[in-house]
Amino acid sequence: MKLPLNTYTNLTEAIDTLAYLKVVNLSEYGAFLATGTDKDILLPHAEQNDELHLNDEVLVYIYLDNNQRPCASMKIEKFLKKLPVEVAPNQEVDLIIYDETDLGFKAIVNKKNLGLLYKNEVFQKLYYADNIKGFVKKLRDDQRLDLILRAAGHKATDDIALKLIELLKANNNFLDITDKTPPEVIYQKFNTSKKKFKIALGRLYKERVITVSEDGIRLVL
């Protein structure tokens, strides 16, 4: 689910928090973001990660500048990395996706810490500012978090889901496997029971990674 835009009655309540705001004006000083008050907030050029346009929606950290004026920054990592980590392995957490790298998806954890969802462990489409639930896999030495979208104990079906996606990609995004496929064929292809296969299949379908029809399974592109 996409994060809703923030609105405030007073900007002081936004200081030292994350916000998701819309660009409503561009100037030589930077971009101005709507806050719901009678004052827009400045996102200076130096605090931007990308070129911005009117009506863009951006994740920012609200802080006080050297003149004690509220300002916004897209460079959220420099603010959040200073905060203590107060979560434990296997704990369910709120995630906000804010960037994608070759390794995976960077996420803000509980609006205060930084973490990563590895691409080879994600079986659904994720987008900037998506707000989803996840779990802490482990705390790294650099005080960042490795994250997963399902609690520990789902590794078997995760492996099946990953193999299914790999086979789909290798076969032009289609496999002629259905609910009526014999268990021995399932075992031959995936080295698992039909019951576990159907659990993995159902999860990928629910996450809209695949479509299922009478003739087989298709990967959603």
18-72: per-residue pLDDT in tens? 999 999 999 999 999 999 999 999 999 999 999 999 999 999 999 999 999 999 9
Task: Give CA torsion, residues 161, 164, 166, 172, to 10 deg.
Answer: -140
pLDDT range class, residue 179, cuts 50, 70, 90: confident
Task: Please say whether the beta carbons of 70 and 18 come within 8 A.
Answer: no
Q: What is the pLDDT of residues 68-127, one digit of tens each?
A: 999 999 999 999 988 888 898 889 999 999 999 999 999 999 999 999 999 888 877 899
> Residue 131 half-sphere exposure, CB side, CA atoms within 13 Å?
11
pLDDT of residue 102: 94
Q: How remote is the C-alpha of 43 from its chain's centroid?
A: 23
Q: Is the pTM of this model over 0.85?
A: no
Q: Which domains does the chain have, with CATH numbers?
A: 11-75 (2.40.50.330), 84-148 (2.40.50.140), 155-219 (1.10.10.10)
Backbone phi and psi for residue 35, each to the nearest 5 degrees, phi listed first: -120, -10
pLDDT range class, residue 162, cuts 50, 70, 90: confident
